[in-house]
Structure 1
């Protein structure tokens, strides 16, 4: 169990959320895991009862097994889980509501095999390559596109993934609750350099955000 738990931590773990979008994903994962374990336990319990309890299987007709176990039980569970997944997922994309006035807007351009970021709310701010700067505690909307092939932007501890499609712009909202360093990567195979198409996210205290970009330009 310790080995399994160790695999659920780290810079690229979606189960260590550091923002509300990632927390929604982690919550959905845990809900589905718990429901799956309950269903698995029920199935194993029925199987053991059929094997070890004399006459248990014959007391229930074939029609009842099919109607109850194959239709009546799974359909409501799948329906509720699907609604819950849509409700959680709606908050991750642009359709989750209108932008607040203090939302930070950033453009992400994917190329083989690099990420370039432009800061729309900071006129004159330099483009950054391989490093995304954001203010902690503020909602960030990232407009994502690609220059060549399909890529996918993913920052596991801050939010879900979104495809970068040539000639098309997709939008992703996320927020870092606290300042820190977070790992990101391309999660869509895009060629021989895919494994190295990583980037880092530096979440700054809000008052340090503009000066952090000036510092990078000086370097």
Structure 2
């Protein structure tokens, strides 16, 4: 984000310097207003909108071959994760998922409003008592991803975190056959 903000700042500074420069004979104001004052922002905003719609569309939960469904139940101060294909298996504070496959997380809460957020995998979704929200996540590489409950839910919420452990194909097969390590 810092790199992106720096690039935008530098671009604006350069454009401002160009606008302040005096030109011999004048007449550049109309070109500046139409080209850089209206045209450039409209093109950038259209590109950002298209990108946002494409990314948002990929995060929508829908049928996909190889999709995995897991449940995430928040409570003070732990997360309990279950797998639709592995009834009876519940892990605490560690969600195991296959890398490279979409995972639909059915999020709810047992007590107060919490929030499920894994910054490197997807956006934030609230966990509300008596209601199930579904969030699509996908880890492109195996590894551990830090998750947090990003909603104030009482004293101790700052340490209310969890881990999403994305497993490669062999690791996922072993997890499905043997259960949580």
Give me the TM-score of the superposition, normalised by structure 2.
0.77
Give the aligned CA root-mean-square deviation in angstroms. 3.2
Residue 88 of structure 2 corresponds to which residue in structure 1? 124
Is contact 2:91–2:180 with CA below 8 Å preserved after alignment? no
Structure number with higher helix proportion: 1
Tell me if 1:89 matches 2:56: yes
Is contact 1:179–1:202 with CA below 8 Å preserved after alignment? yes
| SS state at 2:80 partner | strand
Residue 149 of structure 1 corresponds to which residue in structure 2? 112
Structure number with higher strand proportion: 2
Residue 74 of structure 1 corresponds to which residue in structure 2? 41
Distance 2:47 2:141 in 1: 33
Q: Which runs of 5+ in 1 are unaligned?
A: 1-28
Distance 1:211 1:113 in 2: 29
Is contact 1:49–1:56 with CA below 8 Å preserved after alignment? no
Residue 207 of structure 1 corresponds to which residue in structure 2? 173
Distance 1:197 1:168 in 2: 20
Q: Which has the higher contact order (CA 8 A, sep 6+)?
A: 1
Is contact 1:118–1:128 with CA below 8 Å preserved after alignment? yes
| SS state at 1:123 partner | strand
Distance 2:40 2:159 in 1: 45
Residue 108 of structure 1 corresponds to which residue in structure 2? 72
Q: 1:184 to 1:69 in 2, by over 3 A?
A: same
Is contact 1:158–1:175 with CA below 8 Å preserved after alignment? yes
Q: CA deviation at 1:195?
A: 0.8
Q: CA deviation at 1:80?
A: 2.0
Is contact 2:71–2:81 with CA below 8 Å preserved after alignment? yes
Residue 45 of structure 1 corresponds to which residue in structure 2? 14
Give me the TM-score of the superposition, normalised by structure 1.
0.66
Is contact 1:135–1:209 with CA below 8 Å preserved after alignment? no
Is contact 1:140–1:175 with CA below 8 Å preserved after alignment? yes
Distance 1:202 1:42 in 2: 39
Q: Which runs of 5+ in 2 are unaligned?
A: none
Tell me if 1:33 matches 2:33: no
